Chains A and B, each alone.
Chain A
Amino acid sequence: MSEFVYLYRGGQRPTSPAQGEQQMQKWAAWLQELTQTGHIKDRGQPLEAEGKVVRGKQKIVTDGPYPESKDLVGGYTLVEAKDLAEAAELSKGCPIFESDGLVEVRPVMQM
């Protein structure tokens, strides 16, 4: 088994409580399923939309600039899978695809 990180990028935030509850139920069901099949290492955390970017030798701190908001990382989860192909396959159940977002699947580097 190898470890992978799911980076959740983009996806629309809910505009109404009802819509939010629906989205939430779907996420909960998906993560629950991955937990039951033993693929979750750490459910991870959601991230705020705001932040700072520090860059350059001068270490300049700015608000952004971010790539477009559709690329913004909104959260992550640590999963376990046989290989990258399986990890990618497992991510297909993520509800983020219904709201225009994407999952970036990245193997954790092993020694």
Chain B
Amino acid sequence: MSEGAIRSMKDLPSTHLLGAGTAMCAGCGGLGALHEVYDILGRKTVFVNAAGCMTLLSVYPFTPFRSGWLYTSMASAPAGAQGVRDALDILIAKGRLPTEEDVTAVVLTGDGSAYGMGLSATSAAIERNLDFLYLCYDNEGYGNTGQQASGATPHGAKSATTASARGYPGYKKDLFSIWAAHKPTYVATVVGAEPLDLAKKIEKAARLKGPRLVIALAPCPTGWDFDPELAVEIGRLAVKTGVWPLKEYADGQVVHTRIPHPRVPVEEYLKLQGRFGHLFEPRRNEAMLSEIQAQVDKYWDAVA
């Protein structure tokens, strides 16, 4: 990661832009990440939102944002960013807008949109080399409707639509690689529980032009079934166990910004979450625990 102004925790912004008192749940990992991202990006932004939990941030007549907001639909937020960006470029080119009035279009969606319904619109926005930032808060399910399984749900997790002892039979879609395969300017994974790593990446993304996409793992107390006070701990464990690799893609290269070593056993992360409770109670499901651990090990073996 190239060096910007942010090098240590004490370089992080001490004033916060996003207002308090929103409708998000206590301990929302997505909101935590958004706070941190917004502090780095600043006011010259317009958030283009897709249907999801965060749609409830701006409810008439209140908003926690000190910049623009446009709600679109579940599938087409990147197209909304396209319209905003193109309009601003046209106005500037025609001399109808001073450049200091320019704003950055920031797509804000959950995983339901990012991994599924909005993927086509995202793919096309990258293909058009749209100059925008995409922030996906990934709580690994359709959280706003009560945590049904989405394309981001991890293997074995219970959800409102995969409530059997098997949990979700599929595997979490590798959206980072799908995005990176489009060769955009920048792709990164972050988590709010690692604010320095997050801040460095957002600072870098903000300096670049073109499509810049960031997935923030968003520990979700209601959807993942844990006490809100554990949200930060779970975020940290996602990194320490290697379940959520912190990495970035730029110039054709994938670089891991944190290599957990030694890796904490994955069950330390799983056992704090009710959605994986069936792997421990009434008896340990050794087969599935080993399978999940093996997947994580396999990933990191390939990195090393």
A and B found bound together: no
State the A residues within 8 Å of B (CB): none
State the B residues within 8 Å of A (CB): none
